[in-house]
Amino acid sequence: MRTLIVTPYLPSFPGSGSCIRTYCLARELAGQHELRVLATSRLGGAPPGALTDLESFCQEVRVLEPPAGPSLRRGRVARLASWVWSGVPLEVLALEPLRREFVRTARAWLDEFRPEVLEINETWTLPLVEEVARQTPVVMAVHNLVWRVAQRMVQHEASWKTRLKGRLNMARLRAFEREVYRRPYHFVTCSEADRQGLLELAPQARVSVVPNGVDTDYFSSSADLGGDSERLLFTGKMEYAPNADAVEFFTAEIMPTIRKLCPAAHLEVVGMAPPVALLDLAASNPSLTVHGEVPDVRPWYERCAISVVPLRAGSGTRLKILEALSMRHAVVSTGIGAEGLDVVDGEHLLLADNPRDFAEKVLALMHDEDLRRRLGENGRRLVRERYDWRKVAPLLAQAWEEAARGI
C-alpha cells in the first residue's frame, strides 16, 4: 500500500516518544508498503544520521525547514500577540509558518505518488495539509489527547499567569480537537483510555487502538542485570513539560522521604533538552543529576537498579516504561505514568499516587533484590508478548487498509 506519512517532527530512533513510535512502525511496515515521509525539522530533536536512516527504508523523505523569522525576542512577542487574537492553540500557531510549503509539497506528492492512505501524525498538524487531505483517505495518528495533557499540567502550575495561559490554551485545544475528531477520518490512539477520551468528544468517530511498543531486541539485558540499588533513573525528553514536572515533583516531595532512610539515594535524569530551571535545580541539589541527551540510554539501565515514573500529567502511553520493562528494570510509577498499559501493580511494576506511598515503594525495591528481579522478569515477559513493535505494527497496517476501503 502506498502511504504518505505527514509528521511535525522527523521520525527517529532514539528520539522523543512520538518520533520513536512513528519511526518504529514505519520501519516494521516498510517491507510491505511504499512509504513517503513529509516532516519538519522544527520539532523532535532528531539525532545525527536520522534522515539517512529513515531514507534507508522509505521510498522518499522530505524535511521542510521553518522559514527565517525575526529576532528571538520579537518572534516571541509576535507569537504571543498572534496567539491571543487568533483563537487557535499554541501548537497550531507554532507550525503556521510552514503551511504554504507543506501544502505545495503534499499536493505535488499526492499527484505524483498517488497514495492510497494519508497518515497525519498529531491533530495539530492537520491545518498544514487539510486543504489537500480531501483527496485521499486519512488515518489520523493521535499520539496524545493534547487537551488532556494541558488540563492535567495546569493543575500543578505555581504561577497564576502560567495557569491562566494554560487554561486558555487547554480550552482552545479541546475545542480544536473536538472539531478534528468530527472529520470523516480513521483515528488511531495508543490506548483504550485515549480511545474512550476521543469518543467522549466525538461519539461517531472511527477509532482503532494501536499500542505503543518497544524494540525488545535492542532493549535487552541479561537476567542478572544488577545496577546500584541506591541509584534511580528517569528518562524522557525533558523539554516536554510533564517530564520536567515529574522530576521536580519527585525531587521536592518524594526524594526527601527516601533520603531519610537511604541518604545515598540519587536520581539520574537522562533525556534531551533539559530546561534551564531543571539544570539549576540539579546544581543546587546533591541528590539529582541531569545528564541531558545521551547516544545510548541502555548503559544507564545497567548502572541504576530502579526506574521511577512520577508523572502527574500526560496522555497516550509511556515508552519509558516499556523500555524499562524490556530491560528487566524494576519500575515505580504513578497511575498516570502507567495509564493505558496492561500492567498489574505488584506483578509487572509498583504503583503509587501520593509522595509517601511512592517513597515507600522505592525503598522497598531498594532493599529487596528478589522483588526487583521478579518484577523485571515479569515485565520483560509482558513486553515480549504484547508490546514488541513486530506485533504492534500489523494493527496500524489494518487501520490503513480499513481507511483505504472506507470501513
- Encode pLDDT of 40-49 as tens digits: 876 556 777 8
The DSSP secondary-structure symbol of 343 reads -
Angle 17-29/319-326 helices, nearest 10 degrees?
70
Domain that holds residue 291: 228-386
Residue 134 has pLDDT above 90, yes or no: no
In a domain, 266, yes or no: yes
What pLDDT shows up at residue 172?
A: 87
Residue 79 has pLDDT above 90, yes or no: no
Residues 54 and 195 in one domain: yes
Residues 186 and 287 in one domain: no
Please report, as a single letter, which amino acid is at residue 246.
Answer: A
- Encode pLDDT of 11-65 as tens digits: 999 888 899 999 999 999 999 999 999 998 765 567 778 899 999 999 999 998 7
Q: How far is CA 114 from the centre of its chain?
A: 30
* 26 closest CA partner among 406, 407, 404, 400: 400
In a domain, 223, yes or no: no
Residues 126 and 193 in one domain: yes
What pLDDT shows up at residue 190?
A: 96
Residues 241 and 377 in one domain: yes
Residues 379 and 393 in one domain: no
Q: How many domains does the chain have?
A: 2
- Distance CA(397)–CA(334), nearest Å, equals 32
Residues 381 and 394 in one domain: no
Q: What is the mean pLDDT of residues 287-307?
A: 94
Residue 234's CATH number? 3.40.50.2000
Residue 296 has pLDDT above 70, yes or no: yes
Confidence tier at 314 by pLDDT (50, 70, 90)? confident
In a domain, 400, yes or no: yes
Higher pLDDT, 77 or 17: 17
Residue 330, helix vs strand vs coil:
strand
Q: What is the percent of the chain with per-residue pLDDT over 90, rounded to a whole number?
A: 67
Confidence tier at 82 by pLDDT (50, 70, 90)? low
Q: How far is CA 90 from the centre of its chain?
A: 18
Tell me which H or E stretch contains 178.
Answer: helix 160-181
What pLDDT shows up at residue 73?
A: 44
Q: How far is CA 401 from the centre of its chain?
A: 25
Residues 304 and 323 in one domain: yes
* 332 closest CA partner among 304, 361, 368: 361
Residues 207 and 105 in one domain: yes
Q: Is-contact 172 89, C-beta < 8 A?
A: yes
What global pTM score does this model have?
A: 0.90
Q: What are the C-alpha distances in Å from 58 to residues 25, 35, 112, 335?
A: 12, 5, 16, 37
